[in-house]
Structure 1
């Protein structure tokens, strides 16, 4: 057991995809929130020093020209897709935080050198603040999982799921899985956001993040049997307590917005998340660039449940 150090500094909302070509692909929110950066390496550790390529840069004006947040790179139906959230420029909306979700794609073998096409907005049928989309395949169905504001429900975002007709279109009405309801989910902001999926032992697990993006940020957990109807909210269980929180004794604060990947030998699930190393943030935490990417092994208990451990330790 040892104290973790950041894998990559100043990269928030980290996502690592392990592909069949032997490479790990990494993307995250960059401090300027101005585009989508990719890097790749044959090892997780190698991502730290890997070349970075900005494959898409926001336009100067328009509906998706500000605050490019939480990109994720996925390989769906034979092509690469990056799903991300973006806000309109201020001449369109006075309120800066009016994000909607978008996608870009390329069919290149190496997405770092491919020509990327803008696929447009992912329409969920609700014209409200939304972000943090991820996708996953289960039993031959591609699912879209994201966070969105719903009118009439207190807070900034809840988690929703829907099957996909294509990698850029959902099929049917979104199903709400969880809302901010516990004390630890409603500090500063009422949010459930940043969902990520991992499968183990006949179950599907969804992690998510809650509360403000300072030291109160923490991760929660949903789980369902793999044979259940994922579109039935009753299939999902929810932990009443957070599964990963700040570790003030080791100066790790606000762990969250995670993803999952696997070790090089494919035998160990790896937890990828961001955290800060101090709490003295001046102004809005969103403008503080020092959310760093951390990676640690994810353990599993005898009961088949994930064991996240301490956010600062590699055990």
Structure 2
């Protein structure tokens, strides 16, 4: 016998209001990324449908309904966006707009959503209609509340069709219990008015923190209708997905037709940092061959019904008996908003403190807390200053103590205390102080002071930058070179580096040095570091090695490292990219692994400029890159040259021009030496145009012998020698 439902009053209860802030993460394009990344941050109750080659997505935004559109579900956060609905200022249906669901029915589009008037008990189901073929068009008409529904609390409405009949299923609260009700539909905005209860929370896992069945989603396959729902309150880390199953030939309005699985089919996975997975929808791969579940989840157990819930995608497998296997929630990478110019606390050296992941109201998704002990500190080792002088340093902090402070030390100098006004825990704000920095790289340590305070980031701002050539990048390069251990390298390669270093220091001290000279010196120092040879090769069996590093040609704000084997990492910290226009910060939490985890793409805080010389270092005491199989860590390296696709291609003509510039800059000391090198390269150019490879190779080898002779006889500088030697060897390798 069907259980009919009579309208009656319900009490306002546990249901949490969800404040959601949509965020567009760093650019992701391939559909293969759809399982690797959280596709939308701050996107509770995600609903996705695929229609005519495009994915359309809606989710809870509380004060509006936006529709996102993209050919790639992985990239939907960066897709087209349109505002489908802005609620009235007050009255029924004006507030707390939850769980919108977009359906294409009989050639028209319908958006079903929940809203109230500011009173939770007045939540009802509403529907919008759009007769256009494109739901992104501005043609939405509000048809009001679903007609003939009981005049009681109703949320999370969804619809499906079976055997010519359309059904509407939703969640209703009676006596503090959330149940799933269902009714047949006369048309897309009207139900018959004779609903039945098809599911009530009966198992313990459905009542961990509130007796709840909500968020129904429908998947029709293999002669059956699979209806998932979410159980217990969203404030609980045990929020999970349950399953109802009915044969598509059964009487769906008979509650006995629906069989409930005794255990959740999809629940938390602390090992993968997944908590409270639920309120899902279903879609397919673009070719229709795979079924995908889109759901929201948190990355920490205490996030609850907050705006931290993000949308994720998991492929559904199918059992031999035709039932779905949802698996366990996989670990995903969460791309977050990182602001250029900030030194993030989680990327620094963290001693006896703790990095806290996926925190609200912080930049780059993480901050450092538990700076609670006498030896607790966060040290920023590579704080860049383009010149020596006073800078404004911003410390972004939060604490809930009556009084709190940190101890600040700059370049191992005198320590001073910074007092912080109370903000409340989690309410991060800025404190500005003045600090004296030297040109190049500086070390800033922030340690425990009075009571307890958490740290998000620091930022450095110039006050009065001087005019003239930019010397900071070369100074930073020299600072890093001077930290290298001499005993690790062969005497010959170390001597070459020292000769180049001495000349670059002279240029740096020269008040009349041009920017071209400084940039040339930067490049020469990078090449000298590249040619360093270990006295004894480190024993690192099984450790990954970097085969290449290059700026992406189509994305100058991406740096791709290719490894000799598959790698794994927690996040991409430990990397330091230095260019001739200053350091380029790497957003450590936004990275991409591809090519079976052999390629690591790093997101840069700014684009690498055309012709900018770049070098990359990696600190293995901070970084987490390791071999996927052996778990051997990536060894640290220093100042390796990065390939730039916009750098001029090496050719006889480019080398000849380089000789001219080096002579003009005074780095080739003898005019006759300059002419001799130009003549030699003119001959190489002639034979190259004639494609006479043997003569090209012969004259290039002669050129290398000539610059070696000129260096030994003091006719050219070590800087000029190493630059010309690198270019000539590159060209020789191409012809050989």
TM-score by length of 2: 0.40
Q: Give structure 1 regions of 4+ aligned residues with deviation exceeding 4 angstroms.
A: none
CA distance in 2, matches of 1:43, 1:62: 38
Aligned ranges for residues 225-236 of structure 1 at < 5 Å? 225-236=247-258
Contact 1:107 1:114 survives alignment (8 Å): no
1:1-315 → structure 2 map (5 Å cutoff): 4-19=36-51, 21-30=52-61, 33-89=62-118, 93=119, 96-150=120-174, 154-213=175-234, 214-281=236-303, 285-286=304-305, 288-312=306-330
State the alpha-carbon separation in 1 of the partners of residues 150 and 173 from structure 2. Answer: 9
Give, in whole Å, the separation in 1 of the partners of 2:226 and 2:57: 22
Comparing both chains, which one has the higher relative contact order based on Cα–Cα distances under 8 Å and sequence gaps of 6 or more? 1
Is residue 223–residue 236 contact of structure 1 (8 Å, CA) maintained in 2?
Answer: yes
Q: How big is each residue's C-alpha offset from its partner over 1:265-307, in whole Å with a ceiling of 9 and x where there is no partner?
A: 10111111000111233xxx33x20110001111111121111
Q: Secondary structure at the match of 2:77?
A: helix
CA distance in structure 2 between the aligned counterparts of 1:251 and 1:98, rounded to whole angstroms: 35
Q: CA deviation at 1:156?
A: 3.5
Q: How many matched pairs?
A: 299
Q: Distance in 2 between matches of 1:59 and 1:302?
A: 50
Shift of 1:161: 1.4
Instruction: Please tell me whether the aligned partners of residues 274 and 291 of structure 1 are also in contact (alpha carbons under 8 angstroms).
Output: yes
SS at match of 2:46: strand
Q: Is the 8 A contact 2:273 2:331 kept in 1?
A: no
Which has more helix, going by share of residues? 2
Please list the CA deviations of residues 10-66 of structure 1 after superposition, one character each: whole Å capped at 9, or x if unmatched. 1110011111x2211111112xx1011101112222313112222111222101111
- The SS at the match of 2:90 is coil
3-state SS of paired residue (2:114): strand
RMSD of aligned Cα (Å): 1.8
For the residue of structure 2 that corresponds to 1:52, the secondary structure is strand
Contact 1:146 1:161 in 2 (8 A): yes
Q: Counterparts of 2:271 and 2:196 in 1: how far apart (Å)? A: 39
Structure 2 unaligned runs (5+)? Answer: 1-32, 333-736
Aligned with 1:45: secondary structure? helix
Q: TM-score, normalised by structure 1?
A: 0.91
Matches of 1:280 and 1:197, distance apart in 2: 29
Distance 2:315 2:252 in 1: 26
CA displacement at 1:124 relative to structure 2: 4.7
Contact 1:23 1:43 in 2 (8 A): yes
